Amino acid sequence: MVLAVMRKSINPVLRGVSWFYIWFFRGTPVYTQLVFWGLFAVLIPRIGIGIPFTSIEFWSVDSQSVITAFNAAWLGLVLNEAAYLAEIVRAGLEAVDPGQTEAAKALGMKRSLIMRRIVLPQAMRIIIPPTGNEFIGMLKTTSLVNAVPFTLELQFATTAIATRLYKPIPLLIVACIWYLVITSILMIIQSRLEKHFGKGFDARPAGARGKQTPLPGKTEGEPQDDINKQNEATFAGMNA
């Protein structure tokens, strides 16, 4: 969300930072990023705060105690996924009619209030479907965290068990079943969210809801008997 708002900012610095982040993380393989985070403690042994080019240091900590295998795994996945989600959110925000924003400004609403009350509620119905797909895709991408290496991941664990038991196929089936179960739960959540944020945006034509187009001179909601009488008169005239 922050990256998407930065992309739409009038500040060129914020736009540039957001563009560079999205360009870098979308342009490099997630496996390479995970390898980098796995080797972070080797590249930077200590993380500290101090005065550059001096020996003065206010605070420091061993990198290996901070960037553990688990932290490296989720950092790599989250930072990569944020770049894709930023573009999804930006597309959703831009899909909202800009005239509504202008009308809200004319009423004296602040930009933050316009975003929270006007733009986001309408953009969410566009953002939710691709976001759900991205989350499901990221779930399956977790099988790549063995590059860190993170040994508690589902695919890695089942492969290790299969190696000990010499039964790779049954364990692969077990892994697939678990992935399907988790994916199904995410799909149900996505469906519920789509229904929630899609309220009031029913695009079905009037005929699909059982309503008839009123005759000339009639308005919607007039008694159906008048329409039936008009139809009967027309039919009688054709048979005369």
Structure token pair of residue 157: 């664990």
Would you state the pLDDT for residue 20? 93
Say what the pTM is: 0.70
Would you state the pLDDT for residue 25? 92
**Rounded distance between C-alpha atoms, residue 214 and residue 233, angstroms:** 16
Domains of the chain with CATH codes: 1-48+59-199 (1.10.3720.10)
Does position 161 have pLDDT exceeding 70, yes or no? yes
| Angle separating helix axes 69-94 and 120-141, nearest 10 degrees | 150
- In 3-state terms, what secondary structure has residue 119? helix
The helix (run of H) or strand (run of E) holding residue 21 is helix 12-27
Structure token pair of residue 177: 């079943």
Structure token pair of residue 47: 């993380």
Check residues 227 and 185 and name the one with the higher pLDDT: 185
Measured at the CA of 75, the angle between CA 73 and CA 76, to 5 degrees, comes to 70
Would you state the pLDDT for residue 187? 92
pLDDT in tens, 112-144: 888 888 888 888 888 998 999 998 988 888 888
- Residues 6 or more apart whose Cβ sits within 8 Å of residue 121: 197
